[in-house]
Amino acid sequence: MARKLPATDVVVVGLGWAGAIVSHELAAAGLSVIGLERGPWRDTAVDFNIASIADELRYSRRQELMLRNRQNTCTVRNSPSETALPMRVWGSFHPGNGTGGAGNHWAGITFRFQPEEFRLHSHLTERYGKELSPELTLQDWGTDWEEMEPFYTRFERLAGISGQAGNIKGTLIEGGNPFEGPRSEPYPNPPTAQPYAPMLFADTVRNLGYKPFPAPSALLSQGYTNPLGVTMGPCTFCGFCTNYGCANYSKASAITTVMPALMRKPNFTARTNCEVLQVTMDNSGKQATGVIYADASGELFEQPAALVIVAAFTFENVRLMLLSGVGEAYDPATGRGTTGRNFAYQTANSVRLFFDDKNFNPFIGGGAIGMGIDEFNNDNFDHSGLGFVGGGSTRVTPIGAAPIDSRPVPPGTPAWGSQWKAATVKNYLSTMSIGCEASSYSTRTNYLSLDPTYRDPHGRPLLRITFDFPENDRRMSAFCISKLSEIAKAMNPREFYGAGQTGHWNSAPYQSSHVVGGFIMGAEAATSSVNKYLQVWGVPNLFVIGASAFPQNPGYNPTGTVGALAYKAADAIVNRYLKRPGEMLSL
């Protein structure tokens, strides 16, 4: 039996980017807010100290910042006909743990989605009609660029994003991304300086007729104080960035941008090492009453609240809804239900280049330091007759070649011994990669559900992931690899090798933590779980915020859109819901 605590105005599940932003906005509006975080308290000075953070074994190999698999994991399979098995070590993706969430160890690339992405099904249907594959279950988001743009701007100001605008109020700006939607203002900070490999790539693609631009980066190019009064410093290109916290307060995250201001508010309380087990509902099932959580000792508590905000990682957002009986669980056989529907991922493609006459100093870098082009992304090119839709962001972003994992050798090199050592010495300084982080389009048989066999330490079913790359995305991957290979050949390396998605999804190697969907937003309750304000259809005091709301994933990193959605939801709660509690859109 859970011990019942005094009620609060708002309880927020998760204190990563989305949870921290919403908590701050609602606390600033005068509401009493309690934030519950499954993992430990994270603090830059203590956890990411300059003397200890550059530890590849601890953070990259042993995954200290990731959720512990013994605490909670997922089961995986490629199709509904298979039996799912648990992930005992994180591979394909890296869920975060603790305040800041996955934002502590993210790379920092911060794109805005393009205007047509928010009406993707309508846009592609209008342009290609019957050429669209019937396997795809693409949807419009129920919102549009005009509604989203101000909240992208707010997130970029909060995080101090560094970049070069390509389109300000409809005027194209030289040196920026010509394919981005019209912005209301420039990035808060100028682009970062660039190492040799991105500049070599930029010169090459420019000669090929493409328009390179600096990757929009949450690694700050200069000192910056955000609108909450929190000051951050410039990136030092230390090379220990992706999978690591930042010792220099240079990589924007919830703990470097929001939490310092949030923790000063007397009406906000953070409770860490508290795992939320269930959202509680009244007898009608139409009103959330709070949450039940377990603390580090295993003691159960019930936290009543007038508003419940679920803002965890995609997997836990969906799992909590399934465990709490919110919405109807999706059934791929009938297409009924929305909870778990339209799970999507990211389609990773790359080409590795080996040179004899280059020194890239690959230990210099950062997760979002680089140059890119967008000519082959999303619907920026004509897909007529190609047999697929979608595409990817093509970039060179040297994240830092740490000593254990960065041993680039050509295929066919022995895995150990003197020849491997000689190849490592020969190639370490003179190897670079071109990546293409591409779209993942939803299908009927890619979805999230509760596993019937495997359970967590609390006895709850694990989340089951059913996912495979659809034929559309495999064809798109082959196209992207062909374009990367053309660029690679023009750079005149000794040799190069491409790696795309030609077979089934394999959960073992890391690919991306950009998992999306499962509790998607839209204009109709019949095909979505939340409305454009992230309010759950039929349960008006419950909001579910995060990448779980994406109906599909374009060829961009999701974090900027997660931050924009968090601001969008908070704005709707403060300026609409609190004035007139209830459904903000008609069912």
Q: Which residues contact 49 (CB under 8 A, 6 or more apart)?
A: 247
Phi, psi of 217 (to 5 degrees): -130, 135
Distance separating alpha carbons of residues 252 and 220, to the nearest angstrom:
8
Kindly give the pairing relationship between strand 341-344 and strand 300-310: unpaired
Report the distance separating Cα 134 and Cα 87, nearest Å. 31
> What is the C-alpha separation between 577 and 574, in angstroms, rounded?
6
Q: How many CB atoms lie within 10 A of CB 175?
A: 13
CA distances from 221 to 54, 160, 168, 251, 489 (A): 21, 9, 21, 10, 32
Q: What is the 3-state secondary structure (H, E, C) of 322-376?
A: HHCCCCCECCCCCCCCCECEEEECCEEEEEEEECCCCCCCCCCECCCCCEEECCC
Residue in the structure block whose two tokens are 């077979």: 503
Question: What Rg value do the Cα atoms of the chain yield, rounded?
Answer: 23
Give the residues across from 535 on adjacent strands: 543
CA contacts within 13 A on the Cβ side of 85: 6
CA distance 15 to 41: 10
Those residues with Cβ within 8 angstroms of residue 87's Cβ, 6 or more apart along the chain or in another chain: 69, 73, 74, 75, 76, 507
Q: What share of the chain is helix, strand, coil (3-state, %, to 5)?
A: 25, 20, 55
Residue 424 has phi, psi (to 5 degrees) of: -60, -45
Q: Please give the Cα distance from 520 to 448 (Å, whole number).
A: 12
Q: Is residue 123 flagged as an active site residue? A: no
Q: Any bridge partners for residue 76, and if so which?
A: 85, 465
CB 446 within 8 A of CB 440: no
DSSP-derived letter for residue 291 is: E
φ/ψ of 334, rounded to 5, equals -105, -20
The pair of three-digit structure tokens given for residue 505, joined into one six-digit string: 């999804």
Q: Mind telling me the catalytic residues?
A: 514
